[in-house]
Structure formats: C-alpha cells, structure tokens
Structure 1
Amino acid sequence: MPDLEIKPNGTPPIQFSVMLKNRAGALSSLVRLLRGDHIEVIGLSVQDSRDACVVRLVLSDPDNAMRIFMEKGIPHTTSEIAVIGLTETGGGLARALDTLRAAETNVDFAYSLMSHPEGKSLMALHLEDTHFGMSVLHNAGFKVYYEEDLVR
C-alpha cells in the first residue's frame, strides 16, 4: 500500500465563506473592497437564498483579506480546501472523484477556480479530511496546489 502522507510542501489553501445580504450590488461591493487592497478573487461560488447568500472565496492574499474582514466587521468563516490541477480534456475530474471515493473520503462541495497562470484548470474541493484527501490525490498523480502556489 502506498504511503498516504505527503511531505509538507506548503500551506493548504484557505477558503472564506462570507454571508452577504441578497441584494443588488452586495457581491460587487465586496469584490471592490478587496481589489482596493490589491486582493484578487481566484475562486468564487455563490449559494443564494431569499434574504442572504453564502459567498465562498479563494483569494490571492488571505492574510490581508482576513484583516479587512475583521476591521470592517464582515461576518466570515475560513476552512482549508484541497486544490488540484486538471487538464482541459480527458477524465481528470472523474478520476479525481473516483480516487476520493476509493479512499472513502467525502467531498462536501466543489467549484472551479479561475485559470492558473500556467494554464491549468483548477478545482477547489472541500473534503471531510483535507490533509488526507490532499495526500490521496497527490499519491494518485494529481498536482496539488498550496496557498503559496495560488498567490499571484
């Protein structure tokens, strides 16, 4: 059986979950606030409801984003995610999901990120055990991206 531990190659990427009022311009205002401090949105997922929405963000500078959210009183949580590179064609996504299923680890949710400067398509995965899932994916030959790889 292959070794399922990966050598520490960096910090797992951080995802912010921000609760916004479900009204026109709320997301735009948040993105402009971040851009004002040169923080780029690398990944975005929006889950809406009638009164509020949850915005999941992967950002180019999580430390400064955390500072801004704290200073402005913007309600948020953070969680570690796994980010992998996929090829534009082929069964990369299916193979990744099959790999995680075979390892008996659950995917809570997933979404694609903006293209990486190297041209790779990136997928963010929120897993029940991020470190284990990253190890499994790495050992299956997937390129696992760390926070340091995503900072632009």
Structure 2
Amino acid sequence: MQSDSLQETAQATTKGSPIRQLSVFLPNRVGSLMALIKLLQENSIEVLGLSMQDTTEMTLVRLILSDPEGAALLFIEKGIPYIDCQIIVVELNETVHRLTECLSALLAAELNIEFCYPMLVRPNHFPLFVLHCDDVEMAGDVLGGAGFRVLCQSDLSR
C-alpha cells in the first residue's frame, strides 16, 4: 500500500492535459527537415523534442511542440498529413540511476515501451525522457506512483 504522500505526488504529477506528439512523414531528401522546422518557427511553434527514423524513401519525424493544437491546424492548412498520439514525458532528476528506476517501474507493471527518446529542452535542468507505452495512461500512473514527475502539456507550453 502506498503512503498518503506518495499518492499525493502521483496525483500531482498526472494533473493537466496530456502531452501530444505529432508525427509526420517527410521525403528523405536534403532540406526536408529544415523546411518543416522553419514552417513551425514562422508560426511561433517551438520544437521541444524530436526523433527521426528513416528509410531510403521516407523519414518519420516525431515532434513534441510548444503548441500541438496550433501545429495540427497548420498541418491541416498546409496539407501535411500527421499522426497525433499521447505520450509520457518524465523528468529524470536526482541520480544517474533514474533511467534504470524508470524502466524498472514500467517493467514491474509489465508495460511495453514502443518508442522513447530524450527531449531537446530541460526546463528544470534535469533530463526529460519521452515514452510511448502500450498503455500510456497506466504508464503515467505507474511512474507517478514511483515518485517520478510526469509532465503535462502546460509544463512545456508557453
């Protein structure tokens, strides 16, 4: 059974709107990523996290943005197909072993990590780790219950 303070920490870390990741496919050509980032910046949308996976023809770009709603509208306006999904962003503070503790908590709950990557920003000077699990809501609850700070969109947006 969890202590009251640990339960309060878990509740406090999961309040707020979930963080959305927008993913787009780009042609695997010189300048494609730059054009996408420039389009976002011209519309006052900051890239806070970025992951790329490429093949010979295409590149999958996963983005954590300061304004995912605005970016979604921009993508629709510009005819850029995108995928929107909810992810977990967890703060890895205090010790060098926090990543191991984070992964151990998810393993103990039998949650599978489908993809992960580090963020570009560090609001509290601690590393931020992006995770997408087979059950995102449960992953947030598990990590919050294990004492991790799980961020919400308002923690990242202006």
Shorter chain as denominator, the TM-score bin is: over 0.9
Given the two structures, how large is their TM-score scaled by the length of structure 1? 0.94
**Which whole-Å CA distance do the structure 1 matches of 2:99 and 2:74 have between them?**
34
Kept in 1, the 8 Å contact 2:49–2:121? The answer is no
2 CA distance for matches of 1:134 and 1:28?
A: 32
Q: Quick one: which of 121, 127, 138 aligns to 1:121? A: 127
Q: What is the TM-score with the length of structure 2 in the denominator? A: 0.90
**2:137 alignment partner AA:** H
Contact between 1:88 and 1:121, CA under 8 Å: does it hold in 2? Answer: no
How far apart in 2 are the matches of 1:115 and 1:148? 14
Q: Which residue of 2 is the match for residue 22 of structure 1?
A: 28
Distance 1:126 1:28 in 2: 25
**TM-aligned CA deviation for residue 117 of structure 1:** 2.5
* CA deviation map 1:51-96 (0-9, x unaligned): 0010000000011100100000101101000000013751011110
Q: Which residue of 2 aligns with 1:133?
A: 139
**Of 101, 104, 110, which aligns to 1:104?**
110
User: How far, CA to CA, are the matches of 1:26 and 1:138 in structure 2?
Assistant: 37
2:154 & 2:62 partners in 1: Cα distance?
19
Give the letter for the 1:115 counterpart: V
SS in 1 for 2:96: coil
Are 2:98 and 1:87 aligned?
no
Q: Which consecutive unaligned segments of at least 5 residues does structure 2 have?
A: none
Give the number of equivalent residue pairs: 151
- Deviations, residues 89-126 of structure 1 (Å, cap 9, x unaligned): 51011110010000011110100001322212100000
- Give the alignment of 1:35-114 within 5 angstroms: 35-87=41-93, 89-114=95-120
**Alignment partner, residue 38 of structure 2:** 32
Task: Give the Cα–Cα distance (whole angstroms) in 2 for the partners of residues 88 and 136 of structure 1.
Answer: 19
Answer whether contact 1:16 1:79 (CA < 8 A) is retained: yes
| Higher share of residues assigned helix | 2
What corresponds to 2:15 in structure 1? Answer: 9
